[in-house]
Amino acid sequence: MKRQITRDNHYVPQWYQKGFLTKGRHKLHVRNLMPVMKTFPNGKTLLEPEVEELGPKLIFNEFDLYTTRFGEILNDDIETFLFGQIDKTGADAVRGWIAGDPIQVHRKFQEFFGYMDTQKLRTPKGLDWILKHYQSLPQVELMAQMQALRQMHCTMWCECVREIVSAAKSPVKFLVSDHPVTVFHPKLGPDVDECQYPGDPGIQMVSTQTIFALDANHCLILTNLEYAEDPAAADHMARRTNARFRGESMARTDAMVRGRELTEADVNAINLVLLSRAKQYVAAGRPEWLYPERNCSLSWEEIAKILLPRDGLWKFGGEMYIGYEDGTSAYRDKFGRTSRAHEFLAKPPLSSDPEPDAPCGCGGGLNFRDCCADILPQRRPSWRVMSIRERNLALIRGISKILELDDSEESWLRVRRTLSEDQVRRIYEVHAALWPTDTQLIDLLPSPQRKRSRALYLGMTDARTLSEKITGMLSYVDELVVVHPFMNANAVRKEFSPVHQPASFLDQTLRNVFALLVLERAILEGRVHLIPDPLDFDPGFRSEIIAITDRLGHKVELGPLDKAMARELGQDEMMRFVKRLPPDEMKAYIRRRVPAGAQELTDADIDSVVEAWGKEVERDPMALLTPPPTGQRGEVKTMKSFARETGLYVATLTGAFVYTDSDTQWERLHQTDGVHRYEQDPAAGAIIGNLTTLQIKVPTLTYHRESEPESVGITRAFLREVAVALRADAALDFGVKVTEPGLATAPEDEGLLTCRLRASLPVGGFQRTDVSRLVMTFGRLEDVPPVRLALFIEPILGSI
């Protein structure tokens, strides 16, 4: 027998609605906040009733809200199987929390928050909120993303102060709305932009509270601990400490504040909040309870005082030390942090904004006027911890101290001759300390700039190609975002760790240090942002990227340019290794390489080759002047690069466009994700035309050039104008002609590689569903536009 498809989808389950019925009644009074005029087939019109009495079966449902279609086939698996199971476990959990049964609360702790998170996202308002952040999604993909997001609030919720307040002694009871999980912020009333439909205040802000009426007499209020402990000192709009939407946490399940009996005025105040966050419908046991605005004239800040917990804070916070059977241990502080690194990474708080020409409090290297002055405080990078720039400068200072470096060439030559395993170990320990596994990258990423161009390099970071890929681009772009070359020892098994196996990392460490020293000036000026790959230190982010990769399934094939570059770098790597061998081994290698039938080399010939190689190594600042390891130990070589999704995630949050010299990445940028097609924007034809006429010239050696190529100013100004216009979502026809003579490049400068540009400006930008989810769960809940522009930099063969 064929199973009947369920198409009337309840987004607030019937069992939950029944908790709001008055004794002896089987219906609720429902208020329609937006009644409309209905027109019937006979032409008559009738205004929908504002209040009517209906049973739970007829309330809070919508036709085909969760139904998916595959051609003519309808599917109700979301309603029947996913929500069916969640509602079953959720019902048991909610009843246990209402009853205060500690055993049931403990057993159903995770299920309760899982149900609560699902309830927040499954409503029409919740689904519209998802669509807003993804711009647009077909129904099947919307349901898939809703499932992927449905536990995003649980980590922070379980770290909150949990209080269940009672309306048992109040003549007015709690409402149930069409969006039952309600978010409140004392500084963000219903009329502010952030709260316009379908928006809500983000739970990541210090003073945000979450309200969830469990039934007519019980309401759960979740309050961030630091706000509950000292509401008067709270920086209301700042992100709470260790705010994150993904990640593990630990909590005492027996920690609950109960016993506070609310007055009628208190209940009306809470009901006013519930009403203000509803989309269209609220329901209650009596019709007079549906109009809390008639009985409550309190401001949002006055209501905040009612919502704050009074007692029982001693049950929350503190530190946890966990021991496991295998002898390992773990640590959590009261905000879920897993280390004490924040104690030395913290900065003294500023009492007010700096003067316009003073250094910005974010530590990004610019003055306040040119950095955070025009950015809302809640959207700025944190001013309370060391910035990305400050951590990179701290690493450089630490390396200089460990290696006893000064500005002389002799100092670097000595390092090349004497770099030790202990020095390598200490360098990576410093780096790991600056980037602990509980780092919240979103608190540190530089905010998008309105007047400067910023580009993210989506390619391999290697000291050997630094000028060609990175420092050379500083002539054309104001700021660059680049993946950090150092491996993070916190996330590597001991057998592959530079802290535990430093001998294998001597050569790679020298190159990484050299790259940092080359970039030091640009880092100091705030022009280069060396950002560690979050896969290296964030376990939650790593798991998400692995899941994305597994879901895509297909193998990545290198493009022709990348294959050629891999061969070239591989051959260079081999010759660098050979040139560090002891003389006898070098000579043996040379003899083996003589082709069969060729004239044999004399000892004098071989000696001259060995001597020439020795001089090359001496001149090469990236060459270690000690023999490579022998036996099976070997050397570890690393080249870091952002994955496509990670690069777009970082570029989106920093307001950067993307550039790459990788034909593999370029092709992958334009591969459909099943929803978006990346067709070029017709309005951007003039910009694309201009960009493709431009050429850029970059050095081919890693040594930093002080001089710039000719005509660089025109190219830099044009790229800045394009980047600023795209970021402001301004019109793309800003008066530049495609055949502008001034945009032509000057004759080739000696020693520079000339590259042509290929530009891509798709309609809607490089929007990808996986990247949108990363931005929501590891980034910001504010509206963040996707990356609009990508540039492919292609060398012109024979241009040097």
Average pLDDT over residues 300-309: 97
pLDDT tens, 62-112?
Answer: 999 999 998 889 999 999 999 999 999 999 999 999 999 999 999 999 999
Pair 257, 97: CB distance under 8 Å:
no
Residues 399, 274, single domain; the answer is no
Q: Decide the pairing of beta strands 479-483 and 528-531.
A: parallel
Pair 790, 459: CB distance under 8 Å:
no
CA distance 386 to 393: 10
- Of 300, 315, 330, the residue at which a domain comes to its end is 315
Phi, psi of 788 (to 5 degrees): -95, -35
DSSP string, 604-660: HHHHHHHHHHHHHHHH-TT--SSPPP-TT-------B---HHHHHHHHHHHT-EEEE
pLDDT at residue number 730: 75
Is 698's pLDDT higher than 60? yes
Residues 191, 250, single domain; the answer is yes
Residues 133, 69, single domain; the answer is yes
Residues 161, 40, single domain; the answer is yes
pLDDT at residue number 601: 83
Residues 237, 377, single domain; the answer is no
CB-neighbour burial class of residue 279 (10 A; exposed 0-12, middle 13-18, buried 19+):
middle
Side-chain half-sphere of 87: how many Cα atoms within 13 Å? 16
pLDDT band per the 50, 70, 90 thresholds, residue 3: low
> Which is higher by pLDDT, 709 or 238?
238
Domain annotation covers residue 595: no
Residues 211, 349, single domain; the answer is no
Pair 483, 531: CB distance under 8 Å:
yes
pLDDT tens, 406-419?
Answer: 988 899 999 999 99
Bridge partners of residue 39, in order along the sequence: 45
Q: Which domain holds residue 672?
A: 343-558+639-795
Is 744's pLDDT higher than 70? no
10 Å Cβ neighbour count for 169? 11
- Residue indicated by tokens 């493709």: 692
Is 685's pLDDT higher than 70? yes
Is 6's pLDDT higher than 80? yes
Average pLDDT over residues 483-490: 95
* CB burial string 98-127: b at 16+ within 10 A, e below: beeeeebbeebbebbbbbbbbbbbbbbbbb
Is 602's pLDDT higher than 90? no
> Averaging pLDDT over each range in 457-466, 599-608, 631-640, which range is the top one?
457-466
Average pLDDT over residues 708-713: 72
pLDDT at residue number 2: 60
CB-neighbour burial class of residue 229 (10 A; exposed 0-12, middle 13-18, buried 19+):
middle
Domain annotation covers residue 705: yes
Residues 379, 430, single domain; the answer is yes
3-state helix, strand, coil in the chain (%, to 5): 45, 15, 45
pLDDT at residue number 740: 40
Average pLDDT over residues 304-329: 92
> Which is higher by pLDDT, 348 or 424?
424
pLDDT band per the 50, 70, 90 thresholds, residue 42: confident
Phi, psi of 376 (to 5 degrees): -55, 140
Domain annotation covers residue 566: no
Q: Decide the pairing of beta strands 61-63 and 51-54.
A: unpaired
Pair 171, 294: CB distance under 8 Å:
no
DSSP string, 350-416: PSSPPPTTSBPTT-SSSBGGGTTTTS-GGGSPPSSB--HHHHHHHHHHHHHHHHT--SSHHHHHHHH
Domain annotation covers residue 608: no
10 Å Cβ neighbour count for 602? 9
| Nearest to 256, CA basis, from 319, 312, 193 | 312
pLDDT at residue number 411: 94
Phi, psi of 710 (to 5 degrees): -65, 155
Residues 190, 230, single domain; the answer is yes
pLDDT at residue number 742: 39
Q: Which of 292-306, 375-389, 526-540, 628-642 has the lowest mean pLDDT?
A: 628-642
Amino acid at 735: G
pLDDT at residue number 710: 64
Domain annotation covers residue 552: yes
pLDDT band per the 50, 70, 90 thresholds, residue 738: very low
pLDDT at residue number 800: 54
pLDDT band per the 50, 70, 90 thresholds, residue 206: very high
Q: Which long-range contacts (CB under 8 A, 24 or more apart) does 618-623 make?
A: 620/576, 621/412, 621/416, 621/514, 621/702, 621/703, 622/463, 622/464, 622/510, 622/511, 622/514, 622/702, 623/416, 623/576, 623/579, 623/580
Domain count, the chain: 2
* Token pair belonging to 791: 């540039």
Q: Decide the pairing of beta strands 752-760 and 695-699.
A: antiparallel
Average pLDDT over residues 612-638: 86
* Token pair belonging to 134: 């993804």
Amino acid at 525: E
pLDDT at residue number 407: 86
Residues 356, 260, single domain; the answer is no
- Residue indicated by tokens 């081994």: 585
Q: What is the mean pLDDT of the chain?
A: 91
Pair 436, 490: CB distance under 8 Å:
yes
pLDDT at residue number 739: 40
Helix boundaries (H) for 496-637: 506-524, 539-552, 560-579, 583-593, 603-619
Q: Please enumerate in sequence order all residues whose Cβ is within 8 A of that of 233, keeping only pairs 6 or more positions apart, or say none.
A: none
pLDDT band per the 50, 70, 90 thresholds, residue 37: confident
Residues 297, 348, single domain; the answer is no
Pair 173, 205: CB distance under 8 Å:
no
Domain annotation covers residue 115: yes
Domain annotation covers residue 3: no
Residues 34, 86, single domain; the answer is yes
pLDDT band per the 50, 70, 90 thresholds, residue 253: very high
Residues 81, 183, single domain; the answer is yes
Domain annotation covers residue 273: yes
pLDDT tens, 334-379?
Answer: 999 999 998 999 998 888 899 999 999 999 999 999 999 999 888 8
User: Rounded to two decimals, what is the model's pTM?
Assistant: 0.93
CA distance 318 to 419: 43
Q: Please enumerate in sequence order all residues whose Cβ is within 8 A of that of 608, keeping only pairs 6 or more positions apart, or say none.
A: none
